[in-house]
Amino acid sequence: MMNRWPVMKRLIPLLTGLVLLLSGCGREDLSTLNPQGPVAEKQLDLMKLSIGIMALVVVVVFAICIYVLIRFRRRKGDKSIPKQVEGNHTLEIIWTVIPLVLLLILGVPTIKDVFGLAKDYSKDKDAVQVKVTAHQYWWEFEYTDYGITTAQELIVPTDKKISFELVGADVKHSFWIPSIGGKMDTNPGVTNRMYLEFPKEGVFRGKCAELCGPSHALMDFKAKAVSEASFQRWVTAMKAPAVMPADKDLAEKFTSQCLSCHAVGENGSNSAPNLTGVGGRQTIGGILYNDAEGGAEKNIHDWVTDPQKYKSGAMMPSAEDNSLTDADVSAIAKYLAGYKLDY
């Protein structure tokens, strides 16, 4: 017998590497197999049901097949022709009815849940309405009932349905929070709708799930679920007057160089991520984590100095393009890192 061990031995590091690679996909869970809300739970249940039925069919068919191969194989000296069962009514009925029953078991809950999850809560007074606009390579969240806009971090109350209106600003993207549910395309010029629920407080990682350009893989966002009271405090804080840099020169530079695209409070434009309270976000650019050494201040400094270094194709000029000195960038980073909302 051939010794297979040397081949296996070489495969072990590869398999170990693959396991590590697949399990090491970031800190917040990106798995649909660990649902944190009813939408993701229903979607997972459907996956389990269909995989279960398919596995059952495979096991039964293979078992019968193997049994028949062994039990009815041609024995030595046997020249007889087996009994012909072509057109046998009993058999025809059995193998038509079994798949029909299986399809019904699979189809009824699938249709019920698919239509249930497509329910439109856009007119529901009790639901929070959020308009999501996907941009290369960032996410804009507009709370239409409150008149506020934020970016990169979606703040939602637990125990309320969140009704999303989804569009794309440039190319096609896809809105996906794996542990909460999804996903749904965001298309330019077309509005898609879906709803999600976030029963547990916490931070959940979201992703763009449609290849949209060189930094597609970096188009992350966070969904942060907080209590209803905390959500209301956040809304109030978002509506408070903008906090501008205390230094007058710096405020001028910030206004002319940054608020042409960005906004803080009532100042500026929303053609780039709204920066109100940016210092309190978990990340800068969706990917630079603020709990790392140096915190938000270092991340903002590094990002503003050269956004392309972190996201190639990001639609933001570097400090050099803006003729900002490193001292300017440091001062702006200090100001923005300190801009946090209490909620």
163 exposure class (CB count in 10 Å sphere: 0-12, 13-18, 19+) = buried
Which one of Cu ion, ligand HEC, none interacts with residue 317, CB within 5 to 8 A by kind?
ligand HEC
DSSP state, 278?
G
In the chain, which ranges are continuous DSSP H helix?
A: 5-23, 38-71, 89-117, 228-239, 248-257, 295-305, 307-310, 326-337
Closer of 196 and 264 to ligand HEC (Cβ): 264
Site string for Cu ion, 185-224 (x = CB under 5 A): -----------------------x---x------x-----
Closer of 183 and 262 to ligand HEC (Cβ): 262
Q: Which SS3 state, helix, strand or coil, does residue 301 take?
A: helix
- State the Cα–Cα distance between residues 276 and 263, nearest whole angstrom: 7
* Angle between helix 248-257 and 326-337 (nearest 10): 90
Cβ-contact 247, 331 below 8 angstroms: yes
Closer of 17 and 214 to Cu ion (Cβ): 214
Q: Does 262 bind Cu ion (CB under 5 A)?
A: no
List the one residue from 135, 161, 173, 301 that touches Cu ion (CB under 5 A): 173
Which one of Cu ion, ligand HEC, none interacts with residue 284, CB within 5 to 8 A by kind?
ligand HEC
Q: Which SS3 state, helix, strand or coil, does residue 161 take?
A: strand
The least CB distance from residue 325 to ligand HEC, in Å, is 11
List of residues contacting ligand HEC (CB under 6 A): 137-138, 151-152, 257-258, 260-262, 272-273, 275, 278, 281, 284-286, 300, 303-304, 311, 314-317, 322, 324, 332, 336
Structure tokens at 5: 């061990």
Cis peptide before 183 (omega within 30 of 0): yes
Q: Does 301 bind Cu ion (CB under 5 A)?
A: no
The least CB distance from residue 333 to ligand HEC, in Å, is 8
Closer of 39 and 332 to ligand HEC (Cβ): 332
The least CB distance from residue 331 to ligand HEC, in Å, is 10
